[in-house]
Structures are given as structure tokens and as C-alpha cells.
Amino acid sequence: MKTIKPKYKRILIKVSGEALMGEKDFGIDPKVLSRFANEIAEIHRTGVEIGIVIGGGNIYRGVENSSDGVDKVTGDQMGMLATIINGLALQSALEHCGVFTRLMSSIKMEEMAEPFIRRRAIRHLEKGRVVIFGAGTGNPYFTTDSAAALRAVEIHADVIIKGTRVEGVYDCDPEKYKNAFKFDEISYKDVLEKDLKAMDLTAITLCKENEMPIIVFNMNSAGNLKRLIAGEKIGTIVRSRSNQKKQR
């Protein structure tokens, strides 16, 4: 297996809970989980320090779903617990690949996860452990996108890498519109002004204020993550300035 020379020293990977469903309607597809864990393990062996924020939308979607009689705050708390379930599953899958991990939670549940302490998280990363950040920010009304931006800034990550089902950031939904235009790079300002769905507005604003670049890519394409870490131009990069102009 060819060893890559990583472009980044420390990364924060954001993965939606829905990405773990595969072809299922809900829950976790073991094949998808195993493939993702193997890809993480492969780049971990190159020396990259890895933090992961994972969503819970495959189990319960709190912030967007209050039509079922559950109030929004309670729904968001249920969503936080869903991220812990996904985090435990990913932790187990990574350890089957021989990777040492730590699951850290923004809400107290010491029997299953360490409490999130910034300095401890950084120390785990320095010791070569993959750190999974669960329970979002620990607060309702904040998505796991916002949690990913916050944790990336706190641990001094070089970049946020957001895995999605599409190839990057588009001017409209590429799953609905065949003529959707993909940006190779775009500025935070343009993402905010055009209301593009790279990450939620709170997350984009936090990244903009802290000069934290974001790369949005298709995590379902095998080998994409490894190629991205090696420095290949995969997906869309969101940063302060972009020279790309939209063309047709």
C-alpha cells in the first residue's frame, strides 16, 4: 500500500449521522461504518491527528423535527444522545482497526464517555488517539455543524473536513437540479450571502471569524478522504478569499 505524505497535521472531520445509514431508512449500516473506520485508520497511520464530530440524524433529528409532539429543547437533547450512540459505534469500529480512540461528551455520562475538556482532548490527539466529540455543543438550538466549528477552533485544527453525499458546494441542490454548478473554492462571505448549504450559518460565521478553512467532499466515494489528505483538489474549499468566478 502506497504511503501518502499528508498535507495536514491535525484535522476535524464532520460526518452526518445520515451518512452512516447507507441504504437503510434509519440506524447504522455496518458496511458503511466499517468502510469509514478503515479509511480513518488508513490516514491515521500516516501520522495525521484526527478529531471527529458525528451527527445523530440517522437516529433522531432534534433541531429540525418538533412536529411529533416533542418540544424543541427536548428534541435537541434526544439528538445529543443519538450522537453518543453513533460515537460509540464508530469508536468500536475504529478499535477493531487497531486505532486507539477516546469518546468525549459535552454532557456528563462518565460511564460511557469522558467529559469534554479542551486540554485533555489536545493531549489525546498529541498521543495519537482519534478523538470523537459527542453530544454536540451540549446546548439546544446548536447543530453538530456548529459543534464541529467550535471543536476545530478549540483544538487548533488545520482544517474542517465535512463529508457529504455530494461532490462539494453547489449553487443549488445537485440531487434535484442537473445543471447545479459546483464551486471548487468559495469564500465564507459568498457562502453567507448566497445562503449555500456548506454548513449552517453559525458554523460558517465561527469559521470566518477564526480563519478556519472548510473542505466539503463526497465521503461515499472510496479513496476520496485519502486523496484529500494527500493534498489533491477534492470537493470544495471554503476560506477567506476565492478567485473562482461562476461560469456557465
Map out the domains of the chain with their CATH numbers: 10-239 (3.40.1160.10)
How confident is the model at residue 246, as a pLDDT? 52
Q: Which residues, at least 6 apart from 159, have a Cβ–Cβ distance to it below 8 Å? A: 8, 11, 12, 152, 212, 213, 214, 215
**Do residues 36 and 223 touch, judged by C-beta distance below 8 A?**
no
HSE, CB side, 13 Å, CA atoms: give it for residue 232. 11
pLDDT tens-digit map of 85-124: 999 999 999 999 999 999 999 999 999 999 999 999 999 9
Q: Which has the closest alpha carbon to 167: 217, 118, 204?
A: 217
d(CA 192, CA 162): 17
> In which residue ranges of the chain is pLDDT below 50?
1, 62-63, 65-66, 247-248
pLDDT of residue 244: 56
What is the pLDDT, as a whole number, of residue 109? Answer: 94
Nearest-CA neighbor of 202 among 137, 117, 119, 116?
137
DSSP letter string, 169-199: EESS-TTT-TTPPEESEEEHHHHHHHT-SSS
User: What beta strand segments (E) does the chain contain?
Assistant: 10-15, 49-54, 101-105, 114-115, 130-134, 159-164, 169-170, 182-183, 185-187, 214-218, 236-239
Contact 78, 65 (CB under 8 A): no
pLDDT of residue 63: 45
